[in-house]
Amino acid sequence: MDKAGFYREARHDVDGPLHGVRVLEISKVWAGPMTGAVLADLGCEVIRIEMPGNREGRMPPDIPGTGLSWFRETVHRNKRSVALDLRREPAREAFLRLVVTADVVVENYRPGTLDGWGVGYAQCRRVNPDIVFVSISGWGQYGPRATDAGFDPIAQAAAGWMGLNGEPDGTPMKAPSFLADDLAGLHGAIGALAALRHRDRTGEGQHVDVSLLDALLANSGGYLTLGATGVPLRRWGDQADFVVPAGTYRCRDGWLYLAVALDKHWRSLAAAMDRPELARAPGFATNEERRARRDEVNALVGAWCEARTVAEAAAGLAAAGIPAEPVRDFADAAADPHVRERDMVQTVPLCNGTTGPLTGPAAKFSRTPTRVRHGAPAVGADTEALLTEAGVDWAELARLRACGATDRQEAPACIRPH
């Protein structure tokens, strides 16, 4: 199937399969914002509630030529922005006006923070009984550590994930991306969708509780079960415990990763390496035999790779039907024609009139396509429009501005590129 065939029945009058769902996002850093980003990509109207003049997302570096931070543009794409300091009473009142119009609230403050501000689940439910309220935190809404501070690498350490990552005799290593935050963000979006489905069937809203720790444990490949039953686990670095050969091998001009998951793949690899006698030889024919001779097998494969360039090795392995791939950086991935064809890099208009290449949504929908419609909004860009739509009059807006609960003037312009 080609791309045109996949989208042959696509609609262009909606933003995605969740068009018409309104989400309020009170969040910071990455996990909560990622839930909002996923929902926005799927077509929700996501309204980010942020502090007036908020600069939290201004993390370097800027996207070249834009003057705008990669961080904010990535995780706040497709959203709108209302500037409200929810610590102030007039802002709380305005926010609850917005809650009346919403389907979902997403937040990722420490448990109890929003309750203390008067905008927690109980207060939101009072004005909108069927609201779906998604809370994301380090440790969850209950449990002995519920009120502890928690961030992505802390969750990686606590979950046992970091303890298994790295070279066998090296230092435990965190993931290079925001792994716990991203997984919690995805589970937050999944939880919101499940709760919306229940609401649509029964009229009942509910509180959805997602923690970084739980999200990472849930997606740790069953290792928690092994840990709970006392099965010892060890670090394997780039190797795999149960498949040999599998790992990263040095070529003349770079690195290549291959994995021989089936014995028939080993026979094909033996032929590709001009060692057909090893295909069914005792000590090599089965994966269990190869696991027992891991170092010897790795030395054979390593010697074959070292004699070739990455391109030569990859071509030879592809011809033999062996799963293998050059180890690339993100610049290589961004330039890949397949990545481009899949719309994973999209040139998007940004709020200051520039354009930038933003990461596209993963799921593709043949009938209701999704896309990055625009970059992150300027802080408070939609404050006046959305608050007046919710019933806040000009006098109330003036009071909000006078006490510093929202911006004192029109939405601030984005920082212009130098």
Let me know: does 40 contact 24? Beta carbons within 8 Å. Answer: no
3-state secondary structure 108-119: CCCCCHHHHHCC
132-156 core/surface letters (b: 16 or more CB in 10 A; e: else): bbbbbbbbbbeeeebeeebebbbbb
113, two tokens: 């923070």
Say which residue the tokens 């991306």 belong to. Answer: 177
Q: How far apart are CA 274 and CA 261, in angstroms?
A: 20
Nearest CA among 194, 105, 97, 180 for reference residue 140: 180
Question: Catalytic site residue 329?
Answer: no
Catalytic residue among 41, 181, 214, 382: 181
Let me know: does 30 contact 75? Beta carbons within 8 Å. Answer: yes
Distance set, CA 404 to CA 51, 389, 390, 407 (Å): 10, 21, 20, 7
Q: Which residues contact 142 (CB under 8 A, 6 or more apart)?
A: 209
What amino acid positions are annotated as catalytic residues?
A: 181
